């Protein structure tokens, strides 16, 4: 997994996208802290990947709600 600053993404978009293709996962940082996650995608797996991410979002929301109850 590679890390790039938001400025590197802005100035070297092609390099960062190449890293996403090679590494499958890239973290974008802002002021040294993780800000975004870029994952490899293709037409073949786009819908499946999007569905998994939506499921993870719901699971995370439910977990936070459970933590607030206790």
6: CATH: 3.40.1620.10
Q: Same domain, yes or no, for 56 and 67?
A: yes
Query: pTM of whole model > 0.75?
Result: no
**What proportion of the chain, given as a percentage, has pLDDT over 70?**
99
What pLDDT, in 10s, does the model give residues 34-53?
999 999 988 888 899 899 99
In angstroms, the CA 68 to CA 39 distance is 30
Residues 22, 48: one domain? no
What mean pLDDT value characterizes the chain?
Answer: 93
What is the domain count for the chain? 2
Residue 13's domain comprises 1-39
Count CB atoms within 10 A of the CB of residue 31: 7
In degrees, to the nearest 5, what angle opens at C-alpha 67 toward C-alphas 65 and 63?
55
Amino acid 43: pLDDT: 86
pLDDT-derived band at 70 (thresholds 50, 70, 90) equals low
């Amino acid at each position: 997994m590679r890390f790039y600053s938001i400025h590197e993404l802005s100035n070297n978009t092609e390099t960062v996208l190449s890293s996403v293709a090679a590494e499958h996962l890239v973290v974008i940082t802002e002021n040294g802290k993780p800000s975004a996650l870029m994952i490899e995608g293709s037409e073949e797996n786009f819908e499946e990947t999007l569905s998994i991410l939506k499921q993870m979002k719901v699971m995370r929301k439910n977990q936070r709600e459970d933590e607030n109850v206790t």
